[in-house]
Amino acid sequence: MFNEQEKKLMDACDWFVRKMKAKLLATNAAGRTGWDDERWLASNDCRQRLCQRASMLAAGEVDQAIDVANFAMFLAYAKRAEVLKANDAKCIQLREGGRR
């Protein structure tokens, strides 16, 4: 199935995702919500926070890696939702255009 190097890579990814989830759940439990709020994502605050954390990570603050990954996930998820909405709109246009 997987060779030793692939197993190590999968283990590292699994470990990192568990850390991401734990941080997200702890933050949510502390009352910080709205990560999927389109207005917040559009305000560039998420991008600014990602850049701040990435700068801190690059400066050696390894504990920022989880925050960098989580902010990147927020943006990727929002982009995915945006693409899905655009695709839905295209499908609707095609269906409506096909009925004419």
The string of pLDDT tens digits covering residues 39-77 is: 898 888 999 999 999 999 999 999 999 999 999 999 999
Which amino acid does the sequence have at 65? A
Kindly list the distances between the CA atom of residue 67 and the CA atoms of 51, 59, 63, 73, 89, in Å, as whole numbers in the listed order. 10, 15, 8, 10, 33
Kindly list the distances between the CA atom of residue 77 and the CA atoms of 11, 62, 70, 71, 72, in Å, as whole numbers in the listed order. 23, 24, 10, 10, 8
Average pLDDT over residues 91-95: 73
Average pLDDT over residues 70-91: 84
What are the residue ranges spanned by the domains of the chain?
1-33, 35-100
- Enter the pTM of the model: 0.81
Measuring CA to CA, which residue among 1, 2, 26 is closest to residue 12?
A: 2
The residue that leads in pLDDT, 1 or 88, is 1
